[in-house]
Amino acid sequence: MKNSLLLIVLIILFIASCSPTASKFENLGLEEITITELRNSYGNGDFTITEVVEAYLERIEAVDKNGPAINSIIEVNPDAIEIARQLDAELASGNSRGPLHGIPVILKDNIDTHDKMSTTAGARAMEGSKPLQDAFIVEKLRENGAIILAKANLSEWANFHSSFSSSGWSGLGGQTKNPYDITRNPCGSSAGSGASASANLTVFSIGTETNGSITCPSSANGLVGIKPTVGLLSRSGIIPISFTQDTPGPMTRTVTDAAIALGAMVGVDEADSKTGESEGNSYTDYTQFLNEGAFEGKRIGVFNGPRGRHFRVDSLFNEQLRLLESNGSTLVEIDQIGGSGAGGDSFQVLLYEFKDGLNHYFASLGDNAKVTSLDDLIEKTLSDPLEMKYFDHDLLLQANEKGDLESEEYQTALADLIRKTRDEGIDAVMEEHNLDAFVSITGGPAWKTDHTNGDNFGLSSSSPAARSGYPNITLPMGYIDGLPIGINFFGAAWTEPLLIELAYSYEQLNPVRKAPEFKNYEF
- In the set 213, 218, 236, 505, the catalytic residue is 213
Distance of CA 446 to the CA centre of its chain: 16
- In the set 165, 170, 189, 198, the catalytic residue is 189
- In the set 41, 72, 108, 167, the catalytic residue is 108
Please give the Cα distance from 15 to 382 (Å, whole number): 45
Please give the Cα distance from 505 to 507 (Å, whole number): 5
Q: Taking CA 77 as the corner, what is the angle to CA 73 and CA 83, rounded to the nearest 5 degrees?
A: 140
Please give the Cα distance from 523 to 519 (Å, whole number): 10
Distance of CA 444 to the CA centre of its chain: 17
- Catalytic residue at 118? no
- Angle, helices 35-44/255-265, rounded to nearest 10 degrees: 80
Please choose, from the candidates 268, 205, 198, the residue with its C-alpha nearest in 3D space to the C-alpha of residue 233. Answer: 268
Give the three-class secondary structure for 174.
strand
Please give the Cα distance from 96 to 3 (Å, whole number): 57
Please choose, from the candidates 145, 137, 78, the residue with its C-alpha nearest in 3D space to the C-alpha of residue 110. Answer: 137
- Catalytic residue at 326? no
Would you say 481 and 461 are in contact if contact means Cβ atoms under 8 Å apart?
no
Q: Phi, psi at residue 499, to the nearest 5°?
A: -65, -40
Distance in Å from the first CA to the final CA of the chain = 27
- Catalytic residue at 213? yes
Would you say 425 and 153 are in contact if contact means Cβ atoms under 8 Å apart?
no
Provide the annotated active-site residues. 108, 189, 213
